[in-house]
Structure formats: C-alpha cells, structure tokens
C-alpha cells in the first residue's frame, strides 16, 4: 500500500510516532478496563440495594470492623411502619486476613435465613447443583469466581477456615458480589464470625444470635429513605442504608474516580496526538518539493490534503491497533493472575475496544488536518524551488 510506504519513509520516526499513539491507547484501554470493572461492580451493588433498606450496626473504621447485631432486632424492625419483611444475614471474610491491597470484590462467606425469598429481586440461578437450604449444615454453594480458587466441584469438598464442606451447588456468574461468595448455613457462618471476634468480646456474644445485617423489604408504595429514617429512630444503635445512600457513598466517588482515570488516559493519548502533528508537519516540510511536483503533474489541493490526512489517520489506526494489542495482553494477563485470588481486575468491553481505536483514528485524522492543510496550500512554484 502506497500510504504505508509514505508513512514508513522515515522508519524510526514513524515507529516512535505510532508508539506514542499506542501508549495512549494502551493507557486508555487498561485504565478504561479498570473503570469498566468498577462500574460493573457498583452497578451490581445498585441492583442489590434497589428497592430495599439494609440495616447494619453503625459503621466503624471504614466499614471494615463492625460488631454483630442481635437476631432479636428482626422483630423490632419488622414492626416499623412500612416494613413488609426482614431477612437476617451473616457475612464474614473468606480469609481471616484482609488483603492489604484489593480491587474488586473480596471473597466472603454469606449466609441468610431464607426469609427474603419472594421479596428479594436480586436472584440468580445455579450452573451446577442446587441452591443451599437452611438444613444444609456442613455444606456450601460456591460463587462462580471461587470455583477455581477453592478447587470445588458439586459433590466434592472444599476447605474453608480449616474445615471441610461438601459443595452442593455452583452459582451462575452475576458479575458482582455473589461471584466471590461462599454461601453456607447461618449456623456455620455464625460459628466462623464468632471465632473471628476479638477475645475481649467473644465470650459476651451468643453465637446463635449473631446477625451481620438485615435486608428490609418495603410495603408497596413506601419510599426507602422514609422507612430507613423511621428504623433509625425506632431501633437503637443501627444504621439503615438506602439505595440513595449507596449511590452517594459509592457511585458518586466512583464517577469522579472514573473521570480521573479516563482523563489521565486521554491526556497521554493527546500527547501521542501532538507527536502526530509534529511528525506530519516535519513530513510536509521534507516533502515540500514532492508536493510541488505532485501539483505540477495535476494534483488538486483536495487531493494533496486527502493524502496527508489519510496518512495521519493510518498512523492513528496502526497506533490504535498496536495499543489495543498491548492493552489486551496486559488486561488478559492481569486477569489471569487475579483469577487465582478470585479477583479479575479488568473488564474489556466492546465499547471500550471500539472507543479506544476510534479515538486513535479520530485523533490521527485531527492531528493531520493542519499539516495537510498547510501542504495543500503550498504554492506549487515555491514548492518546486524549495531545496
């Protein structure tokens, strides 16, 4: 292709320019994949919180440490006006130690009393086996992302916190929290939570009344915010979280974080774009005499302009594709490494791939506009005299 030959007239320069663009696309893709993953997680959270109120103990230290609630609170909450149903759940970290750095979902243990059935809208099916029942003591169902990590299969056994459990089911992939959860009975989960409590409080807590949170389902027409305030007023020492609270606490910071991520990536891409402007300007200057010859043999201004724009668009395209390949390598490798711990950091979506490459081509085209215009507007005679 003649265009490619023109671009690679100066091999090192062409390579560096393309590299500049590809670094930008690489950054856009990797950072974008991170943002897409976080967005997905948060959207999952939004779906989970939708239409209900979640009651927990007042948060202490960034929500990582919270003392358990008491099971007896269930009745109290259910008596609050506007509440249709309350379901208790117990949760704990799958590993006793919290990983120092973690993105995405931390693997957890989840148990619930089954009272949510028919009220909970966030439901998922099972790829293999069946759902866990209240009577399944010593058995578990696994979230999709934990299968590999725990090396579990339906009918087989997995080891959790030093104890063996039989696997009865493997959940469908939900792309959010349940993927990283081991579902077990309240009884089993309560034992683990109780063991995790600090020595000082452990003896004063009755393991059979431990509850981590209550999911509160509302009566028809009630607003979560109103009911949440009622609960906090009528029940001592609890915090009620609504979808709106979740949005405020998680979604908005995420939106800001996402914008920053994209801004950083776009800046690096823009720098790549500037190097295209530079390269094309130099290329036009070097080829001044050639432009004069082209015009003398019949090239119109539009044809000259089209040629240079096409060249820089192709630089953008090649850089975009190279950046895409580098980005895919890193995200795939990163996810493969993360898989072992149940954490896939990146999510490469179609819109991200198409967007990144399109942006690179658009940037290449845009960067070529001025140099191309300059080339087209050269006076043929002056260009021919140029040494």
Ligand X SMILES: Nc1ncnc2c1ncn2[C@@H]1O[C@H](COP(=O)(O)OP(=O)(O)OP(=O)(O)O)[C@@H](O)[C@H]1O
Instruction: Return residues touching ligand X (CB under 6 A).
Output: 382, 385
296 touching another protein, by CB under 8 A: yes
Please, which residue, 249 or 379, has the CB nearer to ligand X?
Answer: 379
Helix/strand/coil for 182? strand
Contacts of 255 (CB under 8 A, 6+ apart): none
Torsion on CA atoms 16, 18, 24, 30, rounded to nearest 10: -110
Torsion on CA atoms 142, 147, 151, 156, rounded to nearest 10: 40
360 interacts with, out of another protein, ligand X, none, CB within 5 to 8 A per kind = none
Q: Which structure tokens are listed for 30?
A: 């990797």
Interface residue with another protein among 221, 298, 340, 350 (CB under 8 A) is 298
By CB under 8 A, the residues from 1 to 20 that bind another protein are 2, 5-6, 9
289 interacts with, out of ligand X, another protein, none, CB within 5 to 8 A per kind = another protein
Give the chain's count of helices (H) and strands (E): 13, 12
Please, which residue, 271 or 296, has the CB nearer to another protein?
Answer: 296
By CB under 8 A, the residues from 358 to 387 that bind another protein are 379-381, 384
Going from the C-alpha of 237 to that of each of 59, 147, 233, 369, the distances in angstroms are 10, 37, 9, 64
> Least distance in Å: CB of 379 to ligand X?
8
Taking the CA of residue 199 as centre, how many other CA atoms within 13 Å lie in the half-sphere pointing to its CB?
0
Please, which residue, 85 or 295, has the CB nearer to ligand X?
Answer: 295
Please, which residue, 189 or 299, has the CB nearer to another protein?
Answer: 299
Contacts of 204 (CB under 8 A, 6+ apart): none
> Least distance in Å: CB of 375 to another protein?
14
> Least distance in Å: CB of 101 to another protein?
51
Contacts of 107 (CB under 8 A, 6+ apart): 93, 94, 95, 146, 149, 180, 181, 182, 341, 342
Torsion on CA atoms 136, 142, 143, 146, rounded to nearest 10: 150
380 interacts with, out of another protein, ligand X, none, CB within 5 to 8 A per kind = another protein
Please, which residue, 195 or 382, has the CB nearer to ligand X?
Answer: 382
285 touching another protein, by CB under 8 A: no
Q: Which structure tokens are listed for 117?
A: 């059935």
Please, which residue, 153 or 384, has the CB nearer to another protein?
Answer: 384
31, containing H or E segment: helix 11-49
Interface residue with another protein among 36, 245, 290, 339 (CB under 8 A) is 290
294 interacts with, out of another protein, ligand X, none, CB within 5 to 8 A per kind = another protein
Please, which residue, 212 or 283, has the CB nearer to another protein?
Answer: 283
Please, which residue, 282 or 325, has the CB nearer to another protein?
Answer: 282
> Least distance in Å: CB of 308 to another protein?
14
**3-state SS record for 291-329:** HHHHHHCCCCHHHHHHHHHHHHHHHHHHHHHHHHHHHHH
Q: What is the DSSP string of 123-138?
A: ---EEEE----TT-TT
301 touching another protein, by CB under 8 A: yes
Give the C-alpha separation, 9 to 6, whole Å. 5
Interface residue with another protein among 118, 297, 340, 350 (CB under 8 A) is 297
> Least distance in Å: CB of 298 to ligand X?
22
Q: How many CB atoms lie within 10 A of CB 205?
A: 16
Q: State the number of binding residues for another protein (CB under 8 A).
A: 20
Q: Which residues bind another protein (CB under 8 A)?
A: 2, 5-6, 9, 289-290, 293-301, 303, 379-381, 384
């Amino acid at each position: 292709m003649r265009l490619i030959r023109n671009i690679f007239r100066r091999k090192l320069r062409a390579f560096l320019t393309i590299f500049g663009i590809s670094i930008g696309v690489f950054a856009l893709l990797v950072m974008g994949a991170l943002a897409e993953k976080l967005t997905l997680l948060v959207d999952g959270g939004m779906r989970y919180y939708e239409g209900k109120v979640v009651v927990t103990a007042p948060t202490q230290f960034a929500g990582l440490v919270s003392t358990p609630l008491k099971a007896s609170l269930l009745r109290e909450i259910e008596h609050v006006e506007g509440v249709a149903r309350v379901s208790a759940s117990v949760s704990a970290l799958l590993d006793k130690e919290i990983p120092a750095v973690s993105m995405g979902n931390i693997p957890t243990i989840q148990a619930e009393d089954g009272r949510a059935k028919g009220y909970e809208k966030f439901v998922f099916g099972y790829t293999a086996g069946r759902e866990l029942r209240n009577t399944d003591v010593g058995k578990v169902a696994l979230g999709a992302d934990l299968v590999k990590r725990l090396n579990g299969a339906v009918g087989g056994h997995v080891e959790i916190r030093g104890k063996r459990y039989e696997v009865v089911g493997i959940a469908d992939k939900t792309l959010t929290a349940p993927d990283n959860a081991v579902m077990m009975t309240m009884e089993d989960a309560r034992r683990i939570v109780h063991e995790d409590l600090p020595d000082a409080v452990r003896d004063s807590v009755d393991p059979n009344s431990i509850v981590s949170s209550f999911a509160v389902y509302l009566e028809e027409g009630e607003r979560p915010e109103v009911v949440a305030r009622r609960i906090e007023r009528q029940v001592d020492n609890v915090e009620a979280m609504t979808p709106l609270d979740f949005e405020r606490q998680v979604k908005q910071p995420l939106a800001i974080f996402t914008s920053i991520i994209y801004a950083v990536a776009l800046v690096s891409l823009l720098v790549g774009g500037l190097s295209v402007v530079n390269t094309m300007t130099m290329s036009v200057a070097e080829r001044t005499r050639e432009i004069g010859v082209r015009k003398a043999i019949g090239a119109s201004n539009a044809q000259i302009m089209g040629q240079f724009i096409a060249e820089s668009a192709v630089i953008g395209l090649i850089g975009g594709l190279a950046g895409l390949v580098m980005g895919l390598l890193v995200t795939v490798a990163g996810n493969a490494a993360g898989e072992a711990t149940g954490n896939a950091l990146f999510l490469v979506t179609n819109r991200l791939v198409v967007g990144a490459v399109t942006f690179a081509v658009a940037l290449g085209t845009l960067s070529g506009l001025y140099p191309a215009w300059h080339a087209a507007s050269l006076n043929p005679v002056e260009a021919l005299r140029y040494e």
